[in-house]
Structure 1
Amino acid sequence: MRFIKFVKMQAAGNDFIVFDNRKKVIKKNYSKLAQGLCRRNFSIGADGILLIESSTTADFKMIIINSDGSQANMCGNGARCAALFAYANKISGKTMKFETGAGIIKAKVNGFKVRITLTEPKDIKLDMNLRIESREIHVSSVNSGVPHAVILSPNIEQVDIASIGRLIRNHTQFTPEGTNVDFIKVIDEHTIKIRTYERGVEAETYACGTGCVAGAIIAGLKKMVKSPVKLVTSGGEKLNVYFSRSKTENLLIPIYGLQLEGKAEVIFEGNIPHAFPSRQNAGLRR
């Protein structure tokens, strides 16, 4: 029986199953593979899978499949895991660039700490009033690689993320794709506490890299924080976001030069049967 090697990695509590797929060992059924492998308690368990593939324009290409089988354009913590994986496996040097669905991402590895430079933010909207059941919620939004809705929440510890997050994620304002949802509490001008309901995982996650960037962008636009910003995540890990502000108050790109930094690490390595991706329900049921 042939086997496919994988590496289980995590960054700020976001965990991923990573495959070196440059030789196209996994040819299809990415969605079923992710659904099968990411089921916690029944399989390896993860927020998603990362496929490292060949690129003609960069050091490699990163494909992200969420635990529900959907494909994501970008994942900040996944990108940091991919960068560490690429360096450890001699796919790239300590500095690199790689393809994502959101565009080219640059990264630099320094020990277990990885800093990535993201694409410029877009689709910025501040202070929308959304009707959620019987009340109005003030929401801002930005695409920091993937779409995010950001809500200022002074009582962030008491927020029912599963309920409110799901309602905002599926709100008509964000159709048809939906959005990730970030609840932030500004502690001081360099510190934010954040909780995220993640699209594709459909639950609160320990951290979301692009969510941390989105939270820093919105708080920065409101002049509540200054770079660098430390984001304290649900899992207790801390991520740093760096940015520059436009001196001319450029409305197209008021904040630019976005970077995300934090630790990433390998948890364990293993192998799955080569036939796993093609089995019914990704091999979960015999």
Structure 2
Amino acid sequence: MSKIAFTKFSGSGNDFIFIDNRNLEHRADEMIDFVRRVCRRGQSVGADGLMFIEPSERADFKWRFFNADGSEGEMCGNGGRCAARFARELGIAADSVSFETIAGVIDATMNGSRVKLRMTQPFDYRSDIHLDINGRGVEVDHLNTGVPHAVEFTDDVENVDIVGDGRAIRTHDAFAPAGANANFARVSGANSVILRTYERGVENETLACGTGAVATAILAAARGLVSAPVDVNVRSGEILKIYFEGAGSDVRDVYMEGETRLVYEGEMTEEALL
């Protein structure tokens, strides 16, 4: 295998590997095992996901986004912000860009390292879903913000069994067959929420989840707990700002804004796959 150039980005704690595949040198559908191997932490580059940047006839570029387990994702908010920044670094676009995803065409604007992403229209709003999770009754709300999210509002977010309860919600029959990301949130003010997320495809808690932050902010507003814009404090300690009009099934004009970091550039050798 020849060396593969890549760039590593972090979006509010979510970290991603980016590969410029505009020449279609790599067939993304045949790279699932490659994705699993290079996303391993401690043994390879390590990341929450990997993205191939490819040509698009509908937008400035197209992405193929893969979770760390090799599954292809419809959308990723923090990954989308990093993708916009990567496109600017590649010279694909300046401070505004559009890109094609499975969930639809996404628009983004940039101000330095800060990126504001226009989200696809949320759908599948459901409230007051009662679940039996590891012997306790749980009430969650659900919203698809490009990917499906279940949110439990709790006063004790720090002591949640994020892996045990998160996995049980993520795989619950109520969200079959695809499952849902599991979010645990505490309202901390009239315009702020503290959030922890167990991510589908990573199958663990992550330091941030952009689509989860969006879903949580909208669902909190639907319950009358917060008003937009909402600051979502994620596990990394950073804040994602969520803008929207309306709430619940009537929500519209949804945006997410936060910082991105270009962490490093490098080349993978064949030993990255061992």
Q: What band does the TM-score fall into relative to the shorter chain?
A: over 0.9
Q: CA deviation at 1:26?
A: 1.2
Q: What corresponds to 2:273 in structure 1?
A: 283
Which letter does structure 2 place at the counterpart of 1:66?
N
Please tell me whether the aligned partners of residues 124 and 143 of structure 1 are also in contact (alpha carbons under 8 angstroms).
Answer: yes
User: What is the TM-score with the length of structure 2 in the denominator?
Assistant: 0.96
Please tell me whether the aligned partners of residues 17 and 50 of structure 1 are also in contact (alpha carbons under 8 angstroms).
Answer: yes
Q: What corresponds to 1:63 in structure 2?
A: 64
Q: CA deviation at 1:133?
A: 3.1
The unaligned stretches of length 5 or more in structure 2 are none
* SS in structure 2 at match of 1:2: coil
Please tell me whether the aligned partners of residues 221 and 255 of structure 1 are also in contact (alpha carbons under 8 angstroms).
Answer: no
Q: Distance in 2 between matches of 1:225 and 1:95?
A: 30
Q: CA deviation at 1:33?
A: 1.5
Q: What corresponds to 1:256 in structure 2?
A: 252
Q: How does 1:1-286 map to 2 (within 5 A)?
A: 2-28=2-28, 29-245=30-246, 253-273=249-269, 276=270, 283-284=273-274
Please tell me whether the aligned partners of residues 61 and 100 of structure 1 are also in contact (alpha carbons under 8 angstroms).
Answer: yes
Please tell me whether the aligned partners of residues 44 and 273 of structure 2 are also in contact (alpha carbons under 8 angstroms).
Answer: no
Q: CA deviation at 1:78?
A: 0.2
Q: Distance in 2 between matches of 1:30 and 1:73?
A: 17
Q: Distance in 1 between matches of 2:263 and 2:48?
A: 14
Which letter does structure 2 place at the counterpart of 1:260?
M
Please tell me whether the aligned partners of residues 94 and 109 of structure 1 are also in contact (alpha carbons under 8 angstroms).
Answer: yes
User: What is the TM-score with the length of structure 1 in the denominator?
Assistant: 0.93
Which deviates more from structure 2 when the two are superposed, residues 87-96 or residues 42-51?
Answer: 87-96
Q: CA deviation at 1:30?
A: 2.3
Q: Distance in 2 between matches of 1:141 and 1:193?
A: 17
In angstroms, what is the RMSD of aligned CA positions? 1.4
Which letter does structure 2 place at the counterpart of 1:283?
L
Q: CA deviation at 1:200?
A: 0.1
Q: Distance in 2 between matches of 1:267 and 1:26?
A: 23
Q: CA deviation at 1:72?
A: 0.4
Q: Distance in 2 between matches of 1:135 and 1:76?
A: 31
Aligned length: 273
Q: Distance in 2 between matches of 1:51 and 1:235?
A: 25
Q: Distance in 1 between matches of 2:116 and 2:50?
A: 20
Listed one character per residue, the Cα deviations across residues 160-214 of structure 1 (whole Å, up to 9, x for unaligned) are 1000000000000011111101111001111100000000000000000000000
Q: CA deviation at 1:4?
A: 2.0
* SS in structure 1 at match of 2:221: helix
The unaligned stretches of length 5 or more in structure 1 are none
Q: CA deviation at 1:134?
A: 2.1
Q: CA deviation at 1:149?
A: 0.2
After superposing on structure 2, the runs of 4+ consecutive aligned residues of structure 1 that deviate more than 3 Å are none
Which letter does structure 2 place at the counterpart of 1:266?
L
Amino-acid identity (%)? 43
